[in-house]
């Protein structure tokens, strides 16, 4: 690889100086938000440097706890994320927020949310907030979320809040990549049924009924309790708590952090943490390998060799299966 390929401008306008990958990683680990941003931009842009970046990050990973947040629009997801950041900061933790919209190629909505939250945490050097553009829900960027999480883990954050934007199956899948997944609901939105539809109930470890000071909060809790009882797990398994918050005022947020800690202890005690992290790595490795196969196929499909083999099949010198074998040989 040439030195040009080893230098990073991270897709910024020209004029920004290039930085070598090892220096960028050292800077990110030393607390530079700009270096972290550049590394995540490399992920977002599917940079050819990612192979080198990921290999270099590996030795520095495994510390962060990753907490997923999901829920329908209007449940107060951004406000809850902000309140959780405040609570975790009280404990002295370094906190990163990664907002991913797996159903949209644009990060506009997430960026709007960023601005609101930035106003609360913008001056705190131990809080890093980033939205990541995703490129459609057809699987092309399934490796991107695990890689962005790896960047933040290696950069030394204690907790990473993985917030999914939008609704649907792909959102649920992204949130499911976390160590602990919070499902947020709120009264007056028919959330119980919506949540069940989206498969959210399957992935939650901790359930939070936000806007708990409003009419109907108790009903949402009861409905949810009823639904969870239908899918209750084994006797020794984690009992999924249903908590109430008023995120706007910070009410109940400390209890949510306690529940996250309790779930973490459960994960470690049972070996479930390793299982979840393996699942996350599985998604990433599988997607990288699939991308490589797609690349190989492109080379096969457009090749002069295919033309030559097809001509031999057309003139009955070769049968089509033998031609296909030949085409795939050494690939």
Name every residue whose Cβ is closer than 8 Å to that of residue 85 and which is 6 or more positions away in sequence: 95, 97, 117, 120, 121, 127, 161
* Contact assessment for residue 206 and residue 228, using Cβ atoms and an 8 Å cutoff: no
Query: How far apart are the C-alpha atoms of 298 and 309, rounded to whole Å?
Result: 17
Q: Is 227 in the site for a second copy (CB under 8 A)?
A: no
C-beta of 18 vs 55, nearer to a second copy: 55
Binding-residue total with a second copy (CB under 8 A):
48
Smallest distance, Å, CB 329 to a second copy?
10
Q: Is 1 in the site for a second copy (CB under 8 A)?
A: no
Smallest distance, Å, CB 288 to a second copy?
4
Site for a second copy in 302-331 (CB under 8 A): 306-307, 309-311, 313-316, 318-324, 327-328
Q: Is 46 in the site for a second copy (CB under 8 A)?
A: no
Q: Is 207 in the site for a second copy (CB under 8 A)?
A: no
- 19-20 and 7-8 beta bridge pairing: antiparallel
**CA distances to 22, 190, 201, 212, 331 from 152, in Å:** 16, 35, 27, 32, 35
Smallest distance, Å, CB 1 to a second copy?
13
The only residue of 193, 218, 281, 299 in contact with a second copy, by rule CB under 8 A: 281
C-beta of 18 vs 300, nearer to a second copy: 300
Give the count of beta carbons closer than 10 Å to the beta carbon of residue 143: 22
SS3 assignment, position 330: coil
Smallest distance, Å, CB 224 to a second copy?
31
Q: Is 64 in the site for a second copy (CB under 8 A)?
A: no
Site for a second copy in 140-179 (CB under 8 A): 143, 146-147
Q: Is 202 in the site for a second copy (CB under 8 A)?
A: no
* Contact assessment for residue 169 and residue 199, using Cβ atoms and an 8 Å cutoff: yes
Name every residue whose Cβ is closer than 8 Å to that of residue 62 and which is 6 or more positions away in sequence: 153
Query: How far apart are the C-alpha atoms of 226 and 222, rounded to whole Å?
Result: 6
In the complex, the residues that contact a second copy under the rule CB under 8 A are 50-51, 54-55, 58-59, 61-62, 143, 146-147, 274, 277-282, 284-286, 288-290, 292-293, 296-297, 300-301, 306-307, 309-311, 313-316, 318-324, 327-328
């Amino acid at each position: 690889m040439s030195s040009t390929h080893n230098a990073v401008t991270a897709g910024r306008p020209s004029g920004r100086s290039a930085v070598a990958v090892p220096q960028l990683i050292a800077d990110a680990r030393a607390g530079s938000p700009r270096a972290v941003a550049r590394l995540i931009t490399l992920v977002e842009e599917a940079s050819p440097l990612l192979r080198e970046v990921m290999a270099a990050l590996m030795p520095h990973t495994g510390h962060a706890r990753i907490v997923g947040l999901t829920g329908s629009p209007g449940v107060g997801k951004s406000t809850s994320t902000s309140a959780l950041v405040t609570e975790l900061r009280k404990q002295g933790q370094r906190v990163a927020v990664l907002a991913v919209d797996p159903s949209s190629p644009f990060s506009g909505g997430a960026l709007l949310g960023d601005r609101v939250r930035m106003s609360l945490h913008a001056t705190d050097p131990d809080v890093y907030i980033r939205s990541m553009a995703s490129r459609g829900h057809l699987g092309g960027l399934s490796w991107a979320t695990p890689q962005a999480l790896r960047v933040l883990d290696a950069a030394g954050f204690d907790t990473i809040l993985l917030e999914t934007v939008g609704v649907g199956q792909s959102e649920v899948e992204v949130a499911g990549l976390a160590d602990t997944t919070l499902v947020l609901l709120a009264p007056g939105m028919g959330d119980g049924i919506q949540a069940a539809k989206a498969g959210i109930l399957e992935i939650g470890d901790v359930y939070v009924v936000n806007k708990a000071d409003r009419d109907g909060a108790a009903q949402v809790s009861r409905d949810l309790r009823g639904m969870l009882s239908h899918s209750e797990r084994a006797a020794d398994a984690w009992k999924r708590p249903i908590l109430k918050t008023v995120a706007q005022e910070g009410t109940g947020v400390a209890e949510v952090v306690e529940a996250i800690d309790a779930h973490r202890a459960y994960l470690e005690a049972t070996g479930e943490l390793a299982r979840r992290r393996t699942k996350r790595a599985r998604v990433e490795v599988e997607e990288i390998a699939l991308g490589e196969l797609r690349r190989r196929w492109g080379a096969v499909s457009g090749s002069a060799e295919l033309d030559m083999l097809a001509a031999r099949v057309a003139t009955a010198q070769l049968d089509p299966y033998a031609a296909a074998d030949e085409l795939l040989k050494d690939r």
